[in-house]
Amino acid sequence: DAGVTQSPTHLIKTRGQQVTLRCSPKSGHDTVSWYQQALGQGPQFIFQYYEEEERQRGNFPDRFSGHQFPNYSSELNVNALLLGDSALYLCASSLWGDPATNEKLFFGSGTQLSVL
Amino acid sequence: KNQVEQSPQSLIILEGKNCTLQCNYTVSPFSNLRWYKQDTGRGPVSLTIMTFSENTKSNGRYTATLDADTKQSSLHITASQLSDSASYICVVTLSGGSYIPTFGRGTSLIVHP
């Protein structure tokens, strides 16, 4: 049973470029959330997708956008990259429903993005 | 101000010793509190989850406690092992339909032989 998989594992971009990160959820899960984790910080919630729609969004600019596909996989797109976008980007999958009954979020290993 | 504060920021202990990590939160209304272990360069892995009505939860050598009145939680690690070296993150989730978990910055634990 494959867990959450993310690609690529590492990525180097320059300022102003655009990037697309990919995530496949754990088998049986239908909800994908994306997080940004700067060095030495806890993860910050970017947004959550369910049924191919953005359901919740954290405090991130609209340079950050996403998509969910019918097979529940998801993409995170970041436009006009800034140096401050350098971080570990984590994807987590779960089953849609009341957070109180949502036992666990399953995280991928992340994509390390470096913006030069 | 971060709504989930963890202490200490970092901790070094010897293998075999016990330790306790702290988490104070101001997030309200509260749904659940989770502790995660995150190895360097990897995604977090869930250790425990507690609702407001629970005050303790164990997972092997890890025991989490929760005091919903004082809004404090602790994670106690017994008989530490070298593999316990990691960042331990406290996560609080709101109730009421808005699913935006709030993460603490984590406590970096180093276990020396």
How confident is the model over B18-55, as pLDDT tens digits?
999 999 999 777 778 999 999 988 899 999 988 888 89
Does the CA dihedral A38-A40-B111-B48 come out positive or negative?
A: negative
Give yes or no for residue A36 having a pLDDT over 60: yes
For residue B95, count CB atoms less than 10 angstroms from its CB and return exposed for 0-12, middle for 13-18, buried for 19 or more.
Answer: middle
Confirm or reject contact between B14 and chain A (CB < 8 A).
Answer: no
| pLDDT tens digits, one per residue of A39-67 | 989 999 999 999 999 998 999 999 999 99
Determine the Cα–Cα distance for residues B12 and B8; give it in Å rounded to an integer: 10
Q: DSSP readout, B46-107?
A: EEEEEETT--EEEETTEEEEEETTTTEEEEEE-S--GGG-EEEEEEEEESSS----EE---E
Determine the Cα–Cα distance for residues A5 and B1; give it in Å rounded to an integer: 33
Amino acid at B5: E
Q: Is residue A93 within 8 Å of A26, Cβ to Cβ?
A: yes
A21 interaction partners in chain B (CB closer than 8 Å): none
What is the pLDDT at residue B49?
A: 87
Phi, psi for residue A23 in degrees, rounded to 5: -145, 135
Q: Is residue A97 within 8 Å of A105, Cβ to Cβ?
A: no
Query: For B93, which residue in chain A has the nearest alpha carbon?
Result: A99
Confirm or reject contact between B30 and chain A (CB < 8 A).
Answer: no
